[in-house]
Amino acid sequence: MLKKFFFALLILLISSGATVAQSSSADSRVEFDFRYWITDLNSKARVSSQVLDGTEFDVKDDLGLEDRNFPEFKFAGRLTKNHKLRFEYFQVDYSGDKSITRSIRFGGQDFNVSTRVVSDFDLKQLRAGYSWQFIGNERIRFGPLVEVRGVWLNATLVAPDDGISESRDFAVPVPAFGADLDAYPHEKVQVFASVAGTPDNRFGHLIDADFGVKVFPIKNVGVTTGYRFFDLKGKDDDDFATARIKGFTIGAAFRF
């Protein structure tokens, strides 16, 4: 429903020929967003040793990891009307505790059927970007986006009854490219959308799409809601870990 609303609103803004005064949302130079991400996780991994191939497994089906909701923090600062800097950080820890129903070889360690496995998957991202919104007018600004991201993914499996533990880290430095849109249909309303990514390479790939609406009932304080899709794959030769996270976001927005 939110996707249909966003695209309908965007078409209305672009097709309208009416001119309006620049809104207070468009005048803001600094914005802080504190959002809560209601997520649905899809993740797989395979980790081998130097002599033994690992087993590809699904972290939810095979290890019993459960979806978690977590906060994210975003900052945007306008240097000029068309030039914007963006920063973001989020961190999430997924955990599971399950007697597995099939054998998994992870990093040279064998976790056999019916073994109790306590698992932990940590994902962190630090993101810095620059967008040049040179296309548009007083109500729509659109342009290319260039980013540098640091993404860290850690996978740990422990069989406490057998004294077995194995861990693996994936660090993915990601230059990302995309597009950034801000629209101002009303002085108290801002519509935003961005998509960025990097094609598949020897380190993996990334796709990150984020869109939503901010409403400011008070001049500098508002609420924000939207939807985000994040798809990451980290690779190291034949080893890999994927994290596809999607879901609605809700939170508070502050502008100055």
Read out DSSP for 83-128? EEEEEEEEEEEEEEEEE-SS-EEETTEEE-TT-EEEEEEEEEEEEE
DSSP letter (8 states) at residue 251: E
Residue 57 CA to residue 43 CA, distance in Å, equals 9
> Apex CA 129: angle with CA 125 and CA 130, to 5°?
175
User: Over 80: is that where the pLDDT of 18 sits?
Assistant: no
**Residue 12: per-residue pLDDT:** 41
User: Over 60: is that where the pLDDT of 24 sits?
Assistant: no
Q: Where are the alpha helices (DSSP H) in the chain?
A: 2-15, 24-27
DSSP letter (8 states) at residue 133: -
Residue 29, φ and ψ in degrees, nearest 5: -100, -25
Residue 130 binned pLDDT confidence (cut-offs 50, 70, 90): very high
**Residue 21: per-residue pLDDT:** 35
Residue 19 binned pLDDT confidence (cut-offs 50, 70, 90): very low
Residue 153 CA to residue 198 CA, distance in Å, equals 17
**Residue 129: per-residue pLDDT:** 96
Structure-token pair, residue 159: 């069989």
Q: Residue 36, exposed/middle/buried by CB under 10 A (0-12, 13-18, 19+)?
A: middle
